[in-house]
Amino acid sequence: MSDETRDTVYIGKKPIMAYVTSTLIQLASLPSVSIKARGMTIGRAVDVAQIISRKTENAGYTIGDIRIGSESLESQDGRTRNVSTIEIEVKRNQ
Amino acid sequence: MSDETRDTVYIGKKPIMAYVTSTLIQLASLPSVSIKARGMTIGRAVDVAQIISRKTENAGYTIGDIRIGSESLESQDGRTRNVSTIEIEVKRNQ
């Protein structure tokens, strides 16, 4: 993992607090960060955004734009299938 | 299940196309419908909204506001835990 500043956190299968921490680290130096997930991890992206906005209620960060979409993936048997995606913006309060 | 017109479809554990059908039936008589889900079913709510907007691309229906939140639930052992929620508006094209 690199330690450069990015504006996107991709949700995978690590413990949820790992993504909360990554997002908070990015937010220390950036005004807004996108939390992205697809398929099975979409619910976890919502959890991460909610934990951040709840725990920093006064400090604080808020949820911005939320976008959903879908991507075509080729599965191992060569067939194409669609997978849903989500992108949640978390930003510093004005 | 009642057949009255409601403006909300709650996502549970039925096959995904059951919710696509319910939502389309509601949209036949209403200008917009909210798809709501919490916890593990959040990803499925995104799937339902995406299937509808993709399959009716020209017809058609589009995704409106998306809201995320959290609810406190009391679990069987008496402890409170937070569960994330999502609400996706699907509406008729202007």
Predicted-complex ipTM score: 0.81
B63 CB near a chain A CB, below 8 Å?
yes
Nearest by CB to residue A68, choosing from B41, B66, B69, is B66
In chain A, residues with a C-beta closer than 8 Å to the C-beta of B86 are 46
Name the residue of chain B whose CA is nearest to A83's CA: B47
Closest-CA distance of chain B to residue A71, Å = 10
Q: Mean pLDDT over residues A30-41, rounded?
A: 94
CB contact under 8 A, B70 and A50: yes
Shortest distance, CA A4 to any CA of chain B (angstroms): 29
Q: Which residues of B2-38 are buried (b: 16+ CB within 10 A; e: fewer)?
A: eeeeeeebebeeeeeeebbebbbebbeeeeebbbbbb
B86 near A CB under 8 A? yes
Q: What is the pLDDT of residues B18-67, one digit of tens each?
A: 999 999 999 988 999 999 999 999 999 999 999 999 888 777 899 999 99
Residue B64, preceding peptide bond in cis (omega within 30° of 0):
no
Cα–Cα nearest to A63, from B70, B64, B72: B70
Does residue B46 sit at the A interface (CB-CB below 8 Å)?
yes
Which one is predicted more confidently, A66 or B78?
A66
- Smallest CA–CA distance from A40 into chain B, residue: B43
Mean pLDDT of A27-39: 93
d(CA A84, CA A8): 18
The model carries a pTM of 0.86
Residue A80 and residue A72 in contact, taking contact as beta carbons nearer than 8 Å: yes
Contacts of A86 in chain B (CB under 8 A): 46
- B54–A70 CB contact, under 8 Å: yes
Query: Cα B69–B75–A10 angle (5° rounding)?
Result: 40
Find tokens 């691309």 and name the residue: B57
**Sequence spans of domains, chain A:** 3-92
Q: Would the CA dihedral through A12, B81, B14, B1 be positive or negative?
A: negative
3-state helix, strand, coil in chain A (%, to 5): 35, 40, 30
Residue recorded with tokens 């096959």: B15
Give the gap in angstroms from C-alpha A84 to the nearest C-alpha of chain B.
6
CATH 3.30.110.20 fits A3-92, yes or no: yes
Exposure b/e, A35-44, CB count within 10 A at least 16 = b:
bbbbbebbbb
pLDDT tens sequence across B60-87 = 899 999 999 999 888 888 888 889 999 9
